Each structure stands twice: as C-alpha cells, then as structure tokens.
Amino acid sequence: MSMFFTNARIINPASDYDKKGSLAIVDGKIALYGDDIKAPKDAETIDCGGKILCPGLIDMRAHAVDSIAAAAGGITTVVLQPDQNTMIDTDAVVERIRRRAEDGSSSRVYPMGTATQRMEGQQIAEIGQMQQSGAVAFTDCRKAVSNAQVMRRLLEYATYFNALVVQYPEEPCLAGEGVAHEGETATRLGLIGIPAAAEAIQIERDARLAELTGSRIHFSMISSKEGVDAVRAAKKRGAKVTCSTAPHYLMLNDNALEGYRTFAKVMPPLREESDRLALVDGVADGTIDTLVSDHDPKSEDVKRLPFGQAAHGIVGFETLLALALAPVHAGKVEMMTVLEALTSTPASLLGLDTGTLAEGSPADIVIFDPDKPWRIGADALRSSAKNTPFDSLPVQGQVWRTIVGGDLLFKEDA
C-alpha cells in the first residue's frame, strides 16, 4: 500500500532539512519527499494540515515495551534495558526479544545487553555474541561498572565489535543509600542525599578510560551541572563521549519532592534549579546528545510508600515529545536540535537504519502538531501504569499519526 502525505512541514534532522512539502511511502519504505513531488499511483493521500512530519522517535532507554503507549507518544523504536525479569545477558534472550518484536505490529524493539555478567560488575558479558543476535549496546542499567580495571577491559573488548558501552554515571560509594539530591530539600525532608559530585567523578574517570582505550562510551541520564561540565570537557579533549538526559530533568528540580512526593522519585535524583538550567543549556549547545524517556511503569503499591522505601521511576512514553518541546516553546532550544536528539543521533549511535527520511529507509514517521495544547492526565495515559509527576500539567505538542514500516499504529482521533 502506498501513502502520500501533503501539506506537511517536513523535518529530517539527518540532512538538516526543514521545508513545507510532501512525502511518499511505497511498500513500507520512504520513496521520496520534497516541495514539488507527485503522488504515486493509487496512493492514499493524507493532508497533514501544516503539521510537522519527521522520522519516528527513537527512545534509547526504556524499562518496558508498553507498545500502545509508545505508539501514542510517536515512538517508533524502543530500546529495552537489560533489567527485565529475565535479564538480557545472553544471546538466547536477545534473540527471543528480537523475534517477539518482529512478529507483532508495534514499535520496533531492540534490546541492550548487560555489560557485565549478571550486572555484577566483575566479569565482562559476552557482548560479541549478544551483538550478533541483535543487541544494540551494552549497559549495567542503573549500576555503574565501578571497578576501573573491569571497565578498561570492557571498553577494550568493545572496540573489537565497535560496540557502544553505556555507563550509568554515578559513583556507587559516594551515592551509597541516597534517595534524593544532596542539598537543602533533602536536608529539610530528612532524606539521604546523593551529591552531584558522584556523577561528575564517574564521568571523568570513564572518559579518561575511553581516551586510554580509544573506545566509545555513552553516559545515560545526566542530571547535574557538574555532569554536563564533565562531558563538555571530555568532548573538548577529543574523547569519544556522548550522553543523554530525560525531559523530567529539564522540567523539574528537587522542589518536586516537597510533601514526600514519591511520584517524583527517580534515578538519578532530581537536582537543584541551577542543574536544571545547565541541562537545558547542554541540550541547546549539543553537549547532551540524546533525549530519552526512561519509561519505567510502576504500580501504586510500590510508589505510594514512605519515600525511602518507594520504588523509583516514572512513565515517559506519552509525555516524551511534549516535555521535550517545552524548551523549544520557551525559546531556549531549537526545534531541529530536539528532533535530532530524538531521531538521527540515537540511530547513529546504535547503528540503526531508521531515524531518517532518506529514500529507501524504513517508513517510520511521526506527524505531530507542535503547538496544540493539552493537559497531561494520569488516568488518560495508555501506559501500563500511571506513575507520573506531571499529572494535570498543561503542555504543547501532540502526536497526530505514528507509522512504522508503512503501517499506521496510532491515529489521534481513533
């Protein structure tokens, strides 16, 4: 089946293209796009009404697939973290996830494998075998590989496969049993704090190891000004360093914990206003390479507990785009920069053939109205859980259509 989208603002970050025009899909592939093209024979013509059409969003960090919520959020590729009930630490598990993802009509799913065996930080996992089976990167998820010698060997081993190692940027001894940012709010609430220095120290150590080994390393979930500064300095030295953050760090500071609001308990913790502003600046100047949802559905049974006992994590698929657009509407970040962080950059880092509107690439696209106002409602979310700190928040930017491989997965009016 052929589809022809007209009257769209077409943005393709991979080629820095931003013009009004049309796009054609034939046999599940991008056929062509531009401002003066004709519809393929027998194609279904769809008027986009001036909305933005761009590559489907690629979410580099999710702890659950939640396919309906992903499609509603314009996410066409979900990168699953290895901290599943069955840990993603062998090629057999990777193959099972890839086969299951290919069988259904849903967003594409790619797993990250563990970086060390059982995520224990002692012995390197079989990343070569997992990569052959379809793993796109390797991480111990919310655990930093704390042993410097193990990390050095891991990075050296990864270079043989051009594999991407993803490190959680938090020095575990400094973090200890902390549950909040070490600062005024944590002190007032009587919560154990995690200093921002724990993030910077881990980044600085591993950036040096990346330089030593000539390897690539990606830091997930940057949350502090110190972390942004450490990444920026490493890039200036020429280290093969990239990093990501999530929109909740761009939107919230640790004041969100007032009243012991466990729905704002995340890892790493929300930090001070100066950190939030530094993260926005880091996205704007390209220091922060990608934006992720860190989608982690948790039931009320594990969230509505005393703060120290409550589970961390929030849902993020359906709010990813609107929250990421908030700095754009505020005039702090360019639209192209945000969409690049959600499409072409993660595709390049992970070696995917999506994230672009290039001719012959898979027809994974999202069409959205960047200015349409709506209010986030926890009860209206399609996620398997409703744990969001953004309940009732007014936002702008709503997904209109989500298409994967030429198949319509989400339609706003449906």
Say if 42 falls within a structural domain.
no
To the nearest whole percent, how much of the chain has pLDDT over 90? Answer: 96
Q: How confident is the model at residue 101 (pLDDT cuts 50, 70, 90)?
A: confident
Give the bridge partners for 398, in sequence order. Answer: 369
Spatial CA neighbour of 254 closest among 327, 181, 202, 317: 181
Say if 86 falls within a structural domain.
yes
Q: What's the number of domains the chain is made of?
A: 1
CB 271 within 8 A of CB 254: yes
pLDDT at 167: 98
Residue 342 has pLDDT above 90, yes or no: yes
CB 378 within 8 A of CB 389: no
How far is the first Cα of the chain from the last one, in angstroms, to the nearest whole number?
A: 20
CB-neighbour burial class of residue 378 (10 A; exposed 0-12, middle 13-18, buried 19+) = middle
Give the bridge partners for 109, in sequence order. Answer: 78
Choice among 79-88, 97-106, 175-184 with the minimum mean pLDDT: 97-106
CB-neighbour burial class of residue 161 (10 A; exposed 0-12, middle 13-18, buried 19+) = middle
pLDDT at 413: 79
pLDDT in tens, 372-387: 999 999 999 999 999 9
pLDDT at 331: 98
Say if 238 falls within a structural domain.
yes
pLDDT in tens, 278-290: 999 999 999 999 9
Say if 318 falls within a structural domain.
yes
Say if 287 falls within a structural domain.
yes
pLDDT at 103: 67
Percent composition of the chain: helix, strand, coil (DSSP 3-state, to 5) = 35, 25, 40
pLDDT at 345: 98
> What CATH number is attached to the domain comprising 196?
3.20.20.140
Helix axes 273-284, 320-329, angle to 10 degrees: 90
In DSSP notation, 305-338 reads S-TTTSPP-B--TTTHHHHHHHHHHTTSS-HHHH
Residue 266 has pLDDT above 80, yes or no: yes
Q: Is the dihedral of CA 311, 316, 319, 321 positive or negative?
A: positive
pLDDT at 1: 74
Clarify whether 294 is annotated catalytic: yes
Q: Token pair of 179, please?
A: 């549950």
pLDDT in tens, 392-406: 999 999 999 999 999
In 85-237, where does DSSP find H-type helix?
Answer: 91-103, 127-133, 148-159, 172-175, 184-189, 197-213, 225-237
Residue 156 has pLDDT above 80, yes or no: yes
pTM beyond 0.85: the answer is yes
Domain range for residue 227?
Answer: 56-355+373-392
pLDDT at 414: 65
State the amino acid at position 213 in one-letter form: T
Say if 151 falls within a structural domain.
yes
pLDDT at 117: 97
pLDDT, averaged across the chain: 96
Q: How confident is the model at residue 25 (pLDDT cuts 50, 70, 90)?
A: very high
Tokens 């997930």, located at residue: 220
pLDDT at 106: 85
CB 203 within 8 A of CB 219: yes
Q: Of the residues 294, 296, 364, 369, which is catalytic?
A: 294
Q: How confident is the model at residue 102 (pLDDT cuts 50, 70, 90)?
A: confident
